[in-house]
Structure 1
Amino acid sequence: MIRHDMQGHHDEGGSSAIRQSEWTGRMAKLTDYSSYADAQARATSDAPWDLFDGDRDHLNIAHECITRHADGSGRAAVRIAHADGRDEILSFDTIAAGAARFAHWLDAEGIQPGERIAFMLEPSLPFYVCLFGAMQTGAISVPLFTLFGPDALRLRVDDCKPTILITNSEKADLARSMNGPRVVVADDGLLDEIEKYPATYTSKTRANDLAVFQYTSGTTRELPEAVRHSHRALVTLMFAALYGTGIRPGDEFFCPSSPAWGHGLWHGTLAPLGLGVTTGTFAGRFDPVRLMQALDDYQITNMSAAATHYRMMKNSGKAEDFAFHFKKLSYTGEPIDPATLDFIETYFKVPACSMYGTTEIGVVLVNYPGADDFTVKPGALGKAVPGQKLQVQRPDSTPSAPGEIGELMLWRRDKWETTKDRAKIDEDGYFYHCGRADDVIISAGWTMSAVEIENTLLKHPVVLECAVIGVPDPQRGQVVKAFVIANVDGSDALVKELQTFTREKLAQHEFPRVVEFVTDLPKTPAGKVHRKILRDREAAKAADLVN
């Protein structure tokens, strides 16, 4: 029998591409292998299903992530590092019992499969009870960011129309102002109320039933529709998890990203729990020193974080106060600048592996953390996840040559679809991010990358953070403007120094002709610099001058 896998390879001799494990007598699984070569040979379309109890007909995320691992041992499922210094450890047993009781409570409240249950909570027992309890019943879980203001929250509530919105007492009045969903406060009273229900629940969802509505961290004025995920999304997630974060049983895992966002939910929560791996997260206002304390205390061996998290740890100047135990590191959201990569190499001792994707398309480019036969190139997005096909293209849709910047395209649904990102490849087939399509700056005929100029500025010892955009110029069309957070006071002399520094490292035309020193930069809730806000501000200034 010959069965083709997702990349056109084939294996002979049976219905599974995974051969019998000679040393254990059981069928080997994808989690038994960590090399890049094995990923290419063994990551077939069938292989991830072997990691779960469910099948293509019936599957439930809550069962796979929590219930089946609740064996009465009290084994930790989630470690929560609270900003105030507290550590909270939640076991699989505790979450499973609470989620089952919450599921029964939803049934008693008349909630039907397909209804939306939204919750705006920090990581906590109520958060996980609500997340998994709703999914057990066939309802759809909708995590919402706790720092949403009224406009951002209203747009999302109007879009997903939840029957119930669960939040804490602090946010209750804001939630009630939405004038739609029933608001439930997730406090000890709710936990006491559900205590009367059974601690077990039998899920009957089908694999293709919707399980989660996920929102991106877009602006309130340009709110995308919720990305809708079925229960089987947990299975398709595993390629990106196994080869993007390198997650394997036995890891001590941590992801400080909020589970209201795609990275924190899917890679920080569902992927590790689905494999029975204890995960860790952060609750409250982010503090890089508190994070490093938790990484030390929990002896974390595998962390996946946003690029901003690594940069903030570097800027804290406190890394030498802690011991680190890393074997695998990954990051997402945006490229990491060279200075932060040097920090990671100095203090964490393992390479930081980029994983690239979006809430809409998932993770598609990875660096295979933990694979001894894969060379991690600093700054590279890596290579495709098994089964994915990507290409950098020119405007005429032909492939770009190595080193030539073009548009990053993804093969999906039998056609090339744009990622809205610019990229290039090298001679070895590694992909490199060159900014969003609208982050390209064209000045006097020269095409420049905002990301490249930012990375160069960040190498200067006084620059802590920066953002680069193109601003209108009557002669050049656009010129480069840099917004800089420095550890010294800004001055005309420093502007010239930064300009010279950039020109000497890049090209004579490639430098910020305008530099503005600032104390903070606008960021998305996920922590990425929000260049669009800067562009809008500059456009408004230009319009005011004209008027």
Structure 2
Amino acid sequence: MAKLTDYTSYADAQQYASSTALWDLFDGNLDRLNIAHECIDRHADGSGRIAVRIAHSDGRDEALSFDQISSGSSRFAHWLQENGIEPGERVAFMLEPSLPFYLCLFGAIKRGAISVPLFTLFGLDGLRLRVDDCKPKLLITNAEKFEMASQVEGVRVIVADDALLAELTQYPDSYEVTSKANDLAIFQYTSGTTRLLPAAVKHTHRALVVLMFAALYGTGIRPEDQFFCPSSPAWGHGLWHGTLAPLGLGVTTGTFAGRFDATRLMKAMQDYGITNMSAASTHYRMMRNAGTADQFTFAIKKLSYTGEPIDSATLDFIDATFHVPACSMYGTTEIGVVLVNYPGAPDFQVKPGSLGKPIPGQKLEVQKPDGTPSDPDVIGELMLWRREGWETTKDLAKIDDEGYFYHAGRADDVIISAGWTMSAVEIENTLLKHPDVKEAAVIGVPDATRGQVVKAFIVTPRPGDDEYVKELQVFTRERLSQHEFPRHVEIVEELPKTPAGKVNRKILRDQEQEKLAAAAN
């Protein structure tokens, strides 16, 4: 009997995709399910087949097999049991992709505990906030982070080193899982800044099944793929779409460890024979800026991206380098992926810059402030139908007359100047078309006459003299409209970003408020 992985077309997705069909991809059922079994153990057949390839920033390549992760995570589950970790308790780990990372992730899940991956670049305050929120029994990290982590109160800190791996060898290499589908399995922290304090998004084992809509139609994963996702598995995209989704289908996945380097990524894509990659928009932009793509040969058949829209110059680079369209996938840690471009579907037209169309079974709408649908090409609030009602995504969007959605920025990224409503994203994308602009961020700043005016922060190799500023202003006005241009331009060495690589406009807004407050005093 055919499964959803046997179909590739958009028409088939609309006809055959259903929650029932998703369950046919797994061993578990509505009652019993375990993420570690579905992603690792059922694919560990003694053949040594590779589960994860790791491209280290120092040039090393590492390959971990399903067999290796299966036996090691079982031993770690036994170790957790002997160390008093009970089902439902949290096990946090702050590790780069490595054998210890995957043993912790899947071993805790086998034990029935809750895995909590944490970003390796957290400082003491960021780490303490998350530990205080999820209250783990154990925090596992590397030797470099041990001293800092030990300053966090109320948690036992363990170093994942050769001594720990050696200790695990005394335990059995299989572990009987007993979790139910609705048991909690993973606590996931978002990389955004919408909360004053971090709060974990809590996922059950069943979340893996729901995830497959995004895997099949957002990243286009199929069993024959060689997959890669350079996003950190401490965040939603790297963990769910880059790790759990491909492994859940038995697909070899690749990841990046250490400080990101675009040239190193492209070498790994070549050496690993990657055919399908999902990355953040920033990763593609950094590949373009690296100027080294012509040194490599690629086998790419499908590409997807998330995080924020990609500017037209980077889309042109993708077309010229990989010869396949870049397919946006839109969602959040809280709501999951809801808009996709169906990578690999021969009957789906990918429109540059579009978020695509809803995944099967989802209903979205762009609405006016009064809750009625917006007209085509008119910006409104993007709403998602959930639980018999409309829920806000807190994003702005527009929809064209063929049903394609387009992102228009966060609701708080709207700039209203002298009665004109402007999108920070649209102005940024225009600035990025200038050949000397490497990165751009736009915010609204207070103005006594207009209420707000546009300020642009520009990363560029050129000096920021008055002539260059005027050039950028004219460049923007000629491409948008007479009122849509940055009245203020500041040249900066780098832009603040979230840990997931998105431009953090909130930090820029906060900095401007601090400047105003200081000037007033």
TM range (shorter): over 0.9
Residues 155, 220 of structure 1: 8 Å contact kept: no
Could you say which residue in structure 2 is the equivalent of 1:544? 518
Residues 356, 365 of structure 1: 8 Å contact kept: yes
Would you say 1:160 and 2:151 are equivalent positions?
no
Code of the residue aligned with 1:458 in structure 2: it is L
Distance in 2 between the 1:224 and 1:30 partners?
Answer: 36
Runs of at least 5 residues in structure 1 that lack an aligned partner in the other structure: 1-26
Question: 1:290 offset after TM fit, Å?
Answer: 0.3
Residues 6-40 of structure 1 show CA distances to partners (whole Å, capped at 9, x for unaligned) of xxxxxxxxxxxxxxxxxxxxx11000001000000
Which of these residues, 167, 182, 188, is aligned with residue 193 of structure 1?
A: 167
Distance in 1 between the 2:130 and 2:252 partners?
Answer: 31
Would you say 1:359 and 2:343 are equivalent positions?
no
Question: 1:462 offset after TM fit, Å?
Answer: 0.3
Residues 85, 113 of structure 2: 8 Å contact kept: yes
Question: 1:174 offset after TM fit, Å?
Answer: 1.2
Would you say 1:299 and 2:273 are equivalent positions?
yes
Could you say which residue in structure 2 is the equivalent of 1:465? 439
Code of the residue aligned with 1:210 in structure 2: it is L
> SS of the counterpart of 2:397?
strand
Which of these residues, 60, 63, 74, is aligned with residue 89 of structure 1?
A: 63
Could you say which residue in structure 1 is the equivalent of 2:183? 209
1:508-527 superposed matches below 5 A: 508-527=482-501
Residues 133, 198 of structure 2: 8 Å contact kept: no
Code of the residue aligned with 2:517 in structure 1: it is A
> SS of the counterpart of 1:373?
coil
Which of these residues, 383, 387, 392, is aligned with residue 409 of structure 1?
A: 383
Would you say 1:72 and 2:46 are equivalent positions?
yes
Task: Return closer, same or farther for 1:141/1:34 CA change in 2, 3 Å cut-off.
Answer: same
Distance in 2 between the 1:489 and 1:76 partners?
Answer: 49
Residues 130, 198 of structure 2: 8 Å contact kept: no
Distance in 2 between the 1:47 and 1:374 partners?
Answer: 21
1:429-440 superposed matches below 5 A: 429-440=403-414
Distance in 2 between the 1:482 and 1:219 partners?
Answer: 20
Distance in 1 between the 2:15 and 2:197 partners?
Answer: 40
Would you say 1:55 and 2:29 are equivalent positions?
yes
Distance in 2 between the 1:412 and 1:154 partners?
Answer: 34
Question: 1:160 offset after TM fit, Å?
Answer: 0.1
Residues 92-133 of structure 1 show CA distances to partners (whole Å, capped at 9, x for unaligned) of 000001000000111111211100000000000000000000
RMSD over aligned Cα atoms: 0.8
Distance in 1 between the 2:84 and 2:480 partners?
Answer: 63
Distance in 2 between the 1:381 and 1:118 partners?
Answer: 34
Residues 399-426 of structure 1 show CA distances to partners (whole Å, capped at 9, x for unaligned) of 1010110000111111111100000000
Could you say which residue in structure 1 is the equivalent of 2:78? 104
Residues 496, 507 of structure 2: 8 Å contact kept: yes
Aligned pair count reads: 521
1:180-329 superposed matches below 5 A: 180-219=154-193, 222-329=196-303
Could you say which residue in structure 1 is the equivalent of 2:396? 422
Question: 1:91 offset after TM fit, Å?
Answer: 0.3
> SS of the counterpart of 2:19?
coil
> SS of the counterpart of 2:255?
strand
Question: 1:487 offset after TM fit, Å?
Answer: 2.2
Which of these residues, 409, 415, 422, is aligned with residue 448 of structure 1?
A: 422
Residues 200-240 of structure 1 show CA distances to partners (whole Å, capped at 9, x for unaligned) of 11101000000000000134972341000000100010011
Distance in 2 between the 1:201 and 1:30 partners?
Answer: 30
1:22-41 superposed matches below 5 A: 27-41=1-15
> SS of the counterpart of 2:75?
helix
Distance in 1 between the 2:516 and 2:500 partners?
Answer: 29
Code of the residue aligned with 1:145 in structure 2: it is F
Would you say 1:495 and 2:495 are equivalent positions?
no
Residues 29-63 of structure 1 show CA distances to partners (whole Å, capped at 9, x for unaligned) of 00000100000010012001000000000000000
> SS of the counterpart of 1:463?
coil
> SS of the counterpart of 1:410?
strand
Could you say which residue in structure 2 is the equivalent of 1:532? 506
Question: 1:449 offset after TM fit, Å?
Answer: 0.4
Residues 193, 506 of structure 2: 8 Å contact kept: no
Residues 218, 224 of structure 1: 8 Å contact kept: no
Distance in 2 between the 1:43 and 1:285 partners?
Answer: 39
Residues 240, 363 of structure 1: 8 Å contact kept: yes
Distance in 1 between the 2:462 and 2:36 partners?
Answer: 50
Code of the residue aligned with 2:86 in structure 1: it is Q
Could you say which residue in structure 2 is the equivalent of 1:179? 153
Could you say which residue in structure 1 is the equivalent of 2:310? 336
> SS of the counterpart of 2:145?
helix
Residues 233-284 of structure 1 show CA distances to partners (whole Å, capped at 9, x for unaligned) of 0001001110000000010000000000000000000000000000000000
1:133-144 superposed matches below 5 A: 133-144=107-118
Residue identity over aligned pairs, in percent, reads 76
Distance in 2 between the 1:433 and 1:546 partners?
Answer: 36
Which TM-score applies when normalising by structure 1?
A: 0.95
Distance in 2 between the 1:218 and 1:336 partners?
Answer: 18
